[in-house]
Chains A and B, each alone.
Chain A
């Protein structure tokens, strides 16, 4: 059954890739084929945020509902994967920005908020690496993840300020008003579902690997 699901995911992602290049039309006003990066870049950014929220949920369960080591592992793995997907989203976004806006980095609100959340992920992992005792590590990192969740919403107020005060860029505003054709939407949402499934599949595998490693080190 699990093997079948993995094959289904492979089939789904293959269709998404084909759809992104063959089925979806090019968006108007974009240079060359650059708009096709949307179908991979945007879902990866979504999944990166999903990883952050999932990690916060698992951290809360670990802290306040019975200190189950599985929840601690699940939170840590979600942050690791969130970091991987976040870096990929940042790099693909920077490549696209180079083509469209002429610079890899523009302090666009979305670039900035993703960058700050990447700092959070990295700090979380640095904290975990600096604590040896398993119980202490779980407790401290879960508290930090929840602190991060509480503070992050302020970025939605704060980040537009940075952009406005330092880099007034009309392209950024126009970007928010992209009207998407139906066929592009199909591929984008299918890709979103595919990447989310990919995230949870890798998450499940990685949690099992971590559980085995923990058991090995406990022996």
Chain B
């Protein structure tokens, strides 16, 4: 690429700003997504029963349901980043305006802020509703950050893939869930560790490695996915 580093950063930042500006213009979709996450959360918590689950079973079961809720919310909200470009036929203009890697990073940053916002909304309410005891909150924050990043980066790449296909909505879940499965298992395992307060084992470095590997794969594969 002949672009200098500063124009690359400016491009990525411009894509990021554009995404949020579009979101705030309608706001409708953002509200719907927040409501979706909250409704899923209430359905999950309520289905467990008003009495909840016992403490010993809770540390095994509740982290699974938390991450499933987060996964579904991400699947409901994130694909729009690319699907919208194809639907409003702005994709071609975007191809001309930004280098693929800058575009990917801008979209990833948008997805990341969206996932973090969802986590910030869902996790405290979930912990309060299900009375999940968290022994080490610091570790939980780290796991949410690393797991949320993995969700964002995997979903961004898959969203770019499905945006050019038919039947976008269902296809996203079909393609993304096998990719995100290792991340989900590691995140659940670490959330259990955070809940029970034992020392984290190799799962944390493995989760970080997953994030790094999928980021590199995304940067390498995105240009060929994006440019015809």
Chain A residues at the B interface, C-beta cutoff of 8 Å: 63-64, 116, 119-120, 122-123, 126-127, 130-132, 135-136, 139-140, 142-144, 146-148, 150-151, 154-155, 157-158, 161-162, 165
**For residue B216, which residue of chain A has the nearest CB?**
A150
Q: Contacts of B224 on A, CB cut-off 8 Å?
A: 63-64, 139, 142-143
A136-B164, A144-B161 known; A154+B178 contact, CB < 8 A: no
| Chain A residues in 8 Å Cβ range of B214 | 147, 150-151
Q: Mark B87-99, 1 if CB is under 8 A from A, else 0.
A: 0000000000000
CA separation between A8 and B213, bound complex, in Å?
Answer: 44
CB distance from B186 to the nearest CB of A (A): 6
- Could you tell me how many residues of chain B have their Cβ less than 8 Å away from some Cβ of chain A? 33
B148-181 interface mask toward A, CB cutoff 8 Å, 1 = contact, 0 = none? 0000000001100110111100010011011101
B210 within 8 A of A: yes
Prevailing SS type, chain B contact patch: helix
From A122, A135, A151, name the one whose CB has the most chain B CB atoms within 10 angstroms.
A151
Closest 6 CB pairs of A and B: A154-B182, A130-B165, A119-B178, A158-B182, A150-B217, A143-B221
Q: Which of A64, A130, A162, A165 contacts B171 (CB 8 A)?
A: A130
Instruction: Give 19 pairs: A residue, B residue, CB < 8 Å, sorted on A.
Output: A64-B224, A119-B177, A123-B175, A126-B174, A127-B161, A127-B174, A131-B165, A135-B228, A140-B165, A146-B221, A147-B214, A148-B179, A151-B182, A151-B213, A154-B183, A154-B210, A154-B213, A158-B182, A161-B185
A147 in contact with B228 (CB, 8 Å) = no
State the Cβ distance, B95 to closest chain A Cβ, in Å.
Answer: 14
Q: Does B132 contact A (CB under 8 A)?
A: no
CB atoms of A140 and B171 under 8 A apart? no
Tell whether, in the assembled complex, residue B228 and residue A127 are in contact, meaning their CB atoms are under 8 Å apart.
no
Q: Which residues of B contact A135 (CB under 8 A)?
A: 228
Interface of A is mostly: helix
> A131 touching B179 by the CB < 8 A rule?
no
Contact yes or no, A147 B179, CB < 8 A? yes
Q: B178 and A140: CB pair below 8 A?
A: no
> How many angstroms from the CA of A162 to the CA of B64 in the assembled complex?
12
In the complex, the answer to whether B228 meets A146 with C-beta atoms within 8 Å is no
Given contacts A130-B165, A131-B164, A136-B164, contact A158 B178 (CB under 8 A): no
What distance in Å separates the Cβ of B25 from its nearest Cβ neighbour in chain A?
Answer: 30
Q: Name the interface residues of B85-138: CB closer than 8 Å to any CB of A.
A: none
Provide the residues of chain B in CB contact with A140, threshold 8 Å: 161, 164-165, 225
Q: With contacts A136-B228, A143-B221, A158-B186 known, is A130 near B166, CB below 8 A?
A: yes
Complex Cα distance, B166 from A131, in Å, reads 6
A165-B189 contact in complex given A123-B174, A151-B214, C-beta closer than 8 Å: yes
